[in-house]
Amino acid sequence: MLNGKIFIKTFGCQMNEYDSNRIYDSVIKLGLVKTTDQTNADCYILNTCHIRDKAKEKVYHEIGRVKKLYRNKKKPIMVVAGCVAQAENEEMIRREPYIDIVLGPQSYHKVNDLLKNYFLNLKQEETEFDTIAKFGYFDQIKNNNNKISAFLTIQEGCDKFCHFCVVPYTRGPEYSRPYNKIISEAEQLIENGVKEITLLGQNVNAYSYTENSKEFRISNLINHLNQYSELKRIRYTTSHPRDMTDDLIDCYSSSKKLMPFVHLPIQSGSNKILELMNRKHTVDDYFKIYEKLKKINKDIEFSSDFIIGYPGETHKDFEDTFQLIKKIKFINSFSFIFSPRPGTNASKLKMIDKKISQERLTLIQKKLFTNQIEKNKSLENTTVDVLVENKMEKQKKFFGRNKYMSPVIFDASERDIGKIVKVKIENSNQNTLFGHLSKQMKAA
């Protein structure tokens, strides 16, 4: 038993957030209890992201910060986990002796053993791609998440190798968890009081698990989860246009709990750039998916990821992306300048002028943000369904989300937490809607 407190600082995507929670679930056995006070932990984990920019340098910077925090205190066991740990492995310990353990995302099942071994005075590194063993281990450990909205990883890794992306190298090959294990974890979450489950995967809609010659897809999971009366909402992320099959599209008519908000990254509106990126889908493929979904429910809204300034992007290619955003009014999107990642195909290509990329990013973001502001404005003076998540810290207000994931801040009471309530929207800004419970509020 280690007995003490553990703090995890999480960067990157929702999968890292899920992983951090599962690490907390695992180390309870050692007597390590989660703390939110990062200045007073016996074990400090940085769960890192490698997707863009100077990811590696940011981690060393963070460690410098932790060193300062603990200058006059007992040093915590310092663990670097996540995608930078995978990419950099034991090199990190060589460069920064303050690090005790380097732990890749497919080795989290070893976290307890590594922490126990720490007292043997060994520096340890685990970056095997041992995905099956990892999920096998965590299947035996209860998921204690009792938030109103929880993530549930169903698929990990990626075999698509887009030329710009590190994920296939940091998360390893595509792997889909056994169907029944996902269902029992979902049941644990529902028992804990979770009302919204977001199914997660690097390519969540590539989920495919075969048992007794029957293939289970994400559509089976969605339709299965739809039957639990205590569960109110289902979401999934991140999906890939190539895996947007008709069975999943049909879920938007078969499942009332599947929210009408699709995060479907396209990256660029130019077929030439999509080909250079090795995306293996065209703008037209994307548009067909859009039309099929809109035909099922015209209220379905879209968001996307965009990479601006990819090597070879001309003004015409950029204009195509801009036109696509005009055509599909994405209500909320992520856009970044291309960042060359070590080991990827695109890292060897000639970068386009930084200033041009920055100008294009500014233009695209202006358009995307305008869409977002307009969407939120259009909801003012209407009543929207909100799943109430929590009371806000140091405020009397409550926090929840509408069906499109937009944050809503409003007046309510403790007993509304976990319910879907009707909120009259009075005001909005780019990111948030503000309002109060509607007089004719009906809890769903």
State the residues that interact with ligand SAM by CB under 6 A.
13, 51-52, 164-165, 167, 202-203, 238, 240, 265, 267, 305, 307, 336, 338-339, 341
Which amino acid is residue 64, in one-letter code? G
Check if the beta carbon of residue 428 is closer than 8 Å to that of residue 377: yes
The tokens for 433 are 């809607």
Q: Which is nearer to ligand SF4, 151 or 399 (CB)?
A: 151
203 binds ligand SF4 (CB under 6 A): yes
Sign of CA dihedral 95, 96, 97, 101: negative
List the beta strands (DSSP E) in 359-419: 383-391, 398-401, 407-411
Cβ neighbours of residue 172 under 8 Å, at least 6 residues apart? 105, 106, 129, 131, 156, 157
Q: How far is the CB of 237 from ligand F3S (least distance, A)?
A: 11
168 binds ligand SF4 (CB under 6 A): yes
Q: Which is nearer to ligand F3S, 13 or 194 (CB)?
A: 13
Q: Which is nearer to ligand F3S, 160 or 292 (CB)?
A: 160
- Residue ranges of alpha helices (H) inside 157-279 are 167-170, 179-192, 218-225, 246-254, 271-276
Burial label for 365, CB within 10 Å (0-12, 13-18, 19+), is middle
Q: How far is the CB of 204 from ligand SAM (least distance, A)?
A: 8
| Residues in 156-195 that interact with ligand F3S by CB under 6 A | 166-167, 170-171
Per DSSP, 242 falls in state G
12 binds ligand F3S (CB under 6 A): yes
167 binds ligand SF4 (CB under 6 A): yes
Cβ neighbours of residue 304 under 8 Å, at least 6 residues apart? 263, 264, 265, 266, 267, 328, 330, 333, 334
| Residues in 345-364 that interact with ligand SF4 by CB under 6 A | none
Stretch that binds ligand SF4, among 7-15, 40-48, 161-169, 407-415 (CB under 6 A): 161-169
Check if the beta carbon of residue 44 is closer than 8 Å to that of residue 66: yes
50 binds, among ligand F3S, ligand SF4, ligand SAM, none (CB under 5 to 8 A by kind): ligand F3S
241 binds ligand SF4 (CB under 6 A): no
HSE of 172 in the Cβ direction (CA atoms, 13 Å)? 17
Q: Based on C-alpha coordinates, what's the Rg of the chain?
A: 22
Nearest one of 58, 52, 46 to 99, comparing CA atoms: 46
Q: How far is the CB of 153 from ligand F3S (least distance, A)?
A: 11
105 binds ligand SF4 (CB under 6 A): no
User: Could you give the string, one character per residue 15-54, with x where binding to ligand SF4 holds by CB under 6 A and - elsewhere?
Assistant: ----------------------------------------
CA distance 321 to 364: 8
Q: How far is the CB of 164 from ligand SF4 (least distance, A)?
A: 7
Q: How far is the CB of 47 from ligand SAM (least distance, A)?
A: 14
Kindly report the number of other CB atoms within 10 A of residue 41's CB atom. 24
Q: How far is the CB of 426 from ligand F3S (least distance, A)?
A: 35
User: Could you give the string, one character per residue 221-240, with x where binding to ligand SF4 holds by CB under 6 A and - elsewhere?
Assistant: -------------------x
CA distance 400 to 419: 10
Check if the beta carbon of residue 345 is closer than 8 Å to that of residue 305: no
CA distance 280 to 276: 9
161 binds, among ligand F3S, ligand SF4, ligand SAM, none (CB under 5 to 8 A by kind): ligand SF4
Q: How many binding residues for ligand SF4 (CB under 6 A)?
A: 10
| Residues in 195-254 that interact with ligand F3S by CB under 6 A | 202
- Residue 371, phi then psi, degrees to nearest 5: -55, -45
Contact pick of 165, 308, 368, 425 for ligand SF4 (by CB under 6 A): 165
305 binds, among ligand F3S, ligand SF4, ligand SAM, none (CB under 5 to 8 A by kind): ligand SAM
Q: Which is nearer to ligand F3S, 4 or 82 (CB)?
A: 82
Residues that bind ligand F3S (CB under 6 A): 12-13, 15-16, 49-51, 82-83, 166-167, 170-171, 202
Q: Which chain residues interact with ligand SF4 by CB under 6 A?
A: 158, 160-162, 165, 167-168, 202-203, 240
